[in-house]
Each structure stands twice: as C-alpha cells, then as structure tokens.
Amino acid sequence: MDTNIAANTYSELFPKVISHAKEYGFVFQSSEIYDGLQAVYDYGQNGVELRQNLQQAWWLAMTRLHENIVGIEAAIFMHPTTWKASGHVDGFNDPMIDNKDSKKRYRADQLLEEQARQYELSGNTAKATALLAEMNELLKKDDLEGVRNLIMAEKILCPISKTANWTEVRQFNLMFSTKVGSVAEEATEVYLRPETAQGIFVNYLNVQKTGRMKIPFGIAQVGKAFRNEVVARQFIMRMREFTQMEMQFFIKPGTQKEWFEYWKNARRKWHQAIGTPDARLRFHVHDKLAHYADAAEDIEFEFPIGWKEVEGIHSRTDFDLSQHEQFSKKKLRYHDAQTGENFVPYVIETSIGLDRLFLLTLCQAYREEETTDEKGKSETRTYLSLHPALAPIKVAIFPLVKKEPLVEKARQIVDMLKLDMNVFYEESASIGKRYARQDVLGTPFCVTVDFDTIEKEGETVTLRYRDSMKQERVSIADLKEKLLYETSINRILEKLV
C-alpha cells in the first residue's frame, strides 16, 4: 500500500478526514449557521478547486482521449414522462421501515446487511451469506412482508430505542418533485433528476445526427443529481444533492460483453492514474441488478470505514432508448450505412459520483508523519499527498522575511505564474509555519525568496517539495516551465494513452 498510514490507524482515519475537510476549507455543512440541512454540503475555497481538478481529469480522459466521445450539458428539469419511461416513477424505491418507539426511519435492506456484517465479523460467514441471499430473493420478488418477517426473525433491534417495535416495510420513492408553472392549478409536476444519464438518452439522436457520430460512440456529462435518501450519512458519501460524471457508450447489440470489459479496465486504469493505490480498489458484481441492466459491477474503494462503491459500470442493454421510443413515439434508431441495418443501440454506462471520488481522494491522500522540529522536538506533520495536478494550490511563494527587496521579488514571481496556475502568496509567520499551512492543503511546491536570490548570481530560489520536504535551488528562469510540467493534468492523461 503506498501510504505511510499503518493499517490499524487507517481505519481510524475517517473522523480525522472529516474534520480536516472542514478546518481547511474543503467541505462545509450547508447553511451551517442554521444548524445545517441533513446530507447537503457546500464546498469551500480549497474544496472547489480540488473538485474542479477531479472533474477535469475525468472530462478530458473521456472527451479528449477518445475521438468518439463528446460531451453535453442537459438541464436538470426534464419532461416528466422521461421518468415514467425510464422506470424511475414506478421503480426507483428504497424499502424503508420505521421504529414506532424511537420514530427513526431505516432502510430495511441496510438493517439486514448490518446483521449479516455482524455474523461475518463473528466468523459466521455461511450465516451471513445465507441471510443476504434470502434478503435479495425477497427484494427481487418485491415481497416486503417477507422482508419485515426476516427482520423480526433475526430479532433486529432499533439502535436507538433497542426495541423490535417495527412498522410494516414500505417502498419509498427517492425522487424529489416540484411544480413548474405560475398558476397553481395548471402547474406541472416535475422531478429533480435522480441520475444525469436520462439527459444523455433523450439527446442521443440530436448528438448522433449533428455530430455525425458512428457507433460505437459515447456521450459524457457532468451534473447535479438529487435523491431523497432514506438514510443519509457518512459525510459526503451519501448526499441528497450530489454530482455525477456519467458516460453512455452506444454500441451494436451483441457487443456488450466486450465493451463492458473494455470500460471496466479503462475506468480502473483511470483511478490508478489519479493516484489511487490499486490495492484499495476492487470490483463488486451486483447481486441485484437495476431494472435496466443485464450486467453491472461497481468499482469499490477501501475507505477507512470499509469497502464502498465509488463508480458503477452498467450494461444497460437497449432498455432506456427503447422505453423513450415507446413513450415519445419517436424513432431512436441507428442506421448502419455499411450493413443497411437499423437498430436501437445497446449502452454501456460508466457512472461515478464526484463527491464520493472527492472523499476517496482525501482519504487516500491524508498523511500523518512523526517528525522533529528545528529544536529536536517531535511533532506530527499532517499533509495531503495529492497528485500535483489535483492539488487546489499548485505553488506557494514566500519571501523569507517581510522585507524589501525580497517582497518585491516574490511578488514578481507570483505575477510570472498567476496566469498559468493557482498561486498563493504569504509573507507573515515563520517559514516552517508557512510550509505547514500549505502541507495541510496539499500544495505540492513552495518557493522561498531569500537574500541569496538577490545577492548571488543567477537569481535562484528554494523549491521545497511537499511529500519529501526536500529542498533545491532552482533558477527563477526555469521555475515556470518546471512547475507547469509537474502540475499539468497531462501528467495524469499521459498514463492513459
């Protein structure tokens, strides 16, 4: 594992990452001054930069590195029939159950999954597997009474009230709805999209025709999605408003197995390219397929709280386009000029949550290291070992002391770099403190202007590397080229070509 956090301390990392995110301007609770809104978060001054860099690494890998993938940006509101056709109005549900004593609501499947996890932890793997199999069987048949009976048979108690005083299990639709139109009686109910994918499907023909796209081809999109999650928890892992980065790849029916494998490999390689250790990635085959899929696997990351889904690779067959054909009464066929065939394309989808990817990135980059300060006192150094292309700030420029001509020279370096990268300038506090303030943000480089810069020949500065803390003298004339090279998104993209 390429992290210097020991395995036992890795599992204790989650609360540290959460408070780090808040303390250093990465993530804030939404409307915090009003005590926040559950499962809704805002990104701060450093979070927004990291998030945009992650988004760019995904977007360019999709659109720039594949000649046959283009991007779109569809509106969040869509014609309500979209969601009838896609199956979300009738089928996008979670089974929920309430405890009558604590008045707390739970996802019935998650209560059973937790019970299975307890069996697993106590070494009873067979019992855990059997329980999950029985639950999946009941959910597949939509047997909600059976699910409740299973919860009762397992004697599962509410963690708050410690009673088994459960209501029946009900399906809870996860879509948020609102009204469009100024006159109440004529207003139309519309949904906040629960996935960005449908914006791609309804534009399939527009893009194919206007772009003269030949199958196989893909359409990528980044945008907000909304789900009224029954249980929203674990920080930005499960949110009610989140961002998805999705790509629908349109293919000839019958070729879905090979393209499914292609995208599984391509996406795993991308995660490695942005710096995620492969040992903390794995594929998980879905036990219960979504209504649209004939195959589905998740890319899971080993978070400090366990393996969790980050991305889904789904073989969606021709389900969505066929449904939209039927509901819109518009043909959504592809005409193959070579064979003369007309067909509804099959689709392989890659779908990753940007917020979950953000959390993954913080978890895998967080480092605590024992060091000794100048006086020999031991202390813990905390830093984010982010890929330089992802780091919110690329370089910090410091005059060694707040005196001329050092300040003027440092300011000149800021001006030389600021059009090309995100630069931070600071002149107060000791140099050690200034380095430490950048380490916690993941700034990969710090540049110090000292008296040698001014007095000695060649105008050199000290360049300090975040992870190794090594320092070297670099000439100001070479600085821009070196930093541009090291912090370019191309250092990620070149691993994918």
Interface contacts to ligand GAP, rule CB under 6 A: 195, 197, 227, 229, 238-239, 242, 244, 246, 309-312, 349, 351-353, 355-356
- Looking at beta carbons only, is 109 or 311 nearer to ligand GAP? 311
From residue 356, alpha-carbon distances to 12, 202, 270, 296, 370 in Å are 18, 26, 15, 19, 29
Q: How many CA atoms lie within 13 A of 310 on its CB side?
A: 26
Residue number with CB closer to ligand GAP (314 or 466): 314
| Minimum CB distance to ligand GAP smaller for 351 or for 448 | 351
Report the residue number, 196 or 208, with the smaller CB distance to ligand GAP.
196
Tokens read off for 199:
């914006």
Q: What are phi and psi of 127, to 5 degrees?
A: -65, -40
The residue behind tokens 């605590």 is: 368
Residue indicated by tokens 């540049």: 447
The least distance separating ligand GAP from the CB of residue 245, rounded to whole angstroms, comes to: 9
Quick count: other Cβ atoms within 10 Å of Cβ 71?
15
Report the nearest approach of ligand GAP to the CB of residue 79 (Å): 18
Report the nearest approach of ligand GAP to the CB of residue 88 (Å).
10
Shortest Å, Cβ 474 to ligand GAP? 40
Report the distance separating Cα 266 and Cα 102, nearest Å: 46
Q: Which of 351/487 has CB closer to ligand GAP?
A: 351
Dihedral sign for Cα atoms in the order 139, 202, 241, 73: positive
* Residue with smaller CB distance to ligand GAP, 246 or 302: 246
Residue 37 or 130: which CB sits closer to ligand GAP? 37
Identify the DSSP state of 137: H
Give the containing element (helix H, strand E) for 372. Answer: strand 366-372
Task: Between 227 and 394, name the residue whose CB sits nearer to ligand GAP.
Answer: 227
Pairing state of beta strands 423-425 and 395-399? parallel
Structural Rg of the chain based on CA atoms: 26
CB of 373 to ligand GAP, least distance (A): 40
State the minimum distance, in angstroms, from the CB of residue 411 to ligand GAP.
42
Measured in whole angstroms, how far is the alpha carbon of residue 186 from the centre of its chain? 38
Distance CA 266, CA 275 (A): 15
CB of 349 to ligand GAP, least distance (A): 6
The rounded distance, in Å, linking the Cα atoms of 115 and 118 is 5
Rounded least distance, CB 289 to ligand GAP, Å: 11
Contacts by residues 405-409 (CB-CB < 8 Å, ≥ 24 positions apart): 405/454, 406/449, 406/450, 406/451, 406/453, 406/454, 409/449, 409/453, 409/454
Contact criterion met (CB below 8 Å) for 396 and 425: yes
| Distance in angstroms (rounded) separating the CA atoms of residues 112 and 150 | 8
If you search the block for the tokens 């509410």, which residue do you land on?
A: 158
In the complex with ligand GAP, the residue whose CB is nearer, 218 or 353, is 353
Q: What stretch of H or E contains 465?
A: strand 460-465
Cα gap 329→333, rounded to integer Å: 12
Give the bridge partners for 346, in sequence order. 251
Nearer residue to ligand GAP within complex by CB, 88 or 464 = 88
Q: Which is nearer to ligand GAP, 156 or 197 (CB)?
A: 197
For the CB of residue 239, give the shortest distance to ligand GAP in the complex, in Å: 4
Q: Which residue has the tokens 């030949």?
A: 214
- Considering the complex, what minimum distance in angstroms separates the CB of residue 115 from ligand GAP? 23
154 vs 355, which CB is nearer to ligand GAP?
A: 355
Question: Which residue's beta carbon is nearest to the bound ligand GAP?
Answer: 353
Q: Report the C-alpha gap between 281 and 272 in whole angstroms.
A: 9
Q: Least distance from C-beta 246 to ligand GAP, angstroms?
A: 6
Q: In what order do the strands lie in the sheet with 217-226?
A: 69-71, 217-226, 241-251, 346-353, 306-317, 295-303, 281-285
At its nearest, how many Å lie between ligand GAP and the CB of residue 357? 7
Q: Which is nearer to ligand GAP, 246 or 450 (by Cβ)? A: 246
The least CB distance from residue 462 to ligand GAP, in Å, is 41
Place of tokens 């708050």: 160
Q: Which element (helix H / strand E) includes 437?
A: helix 431-439
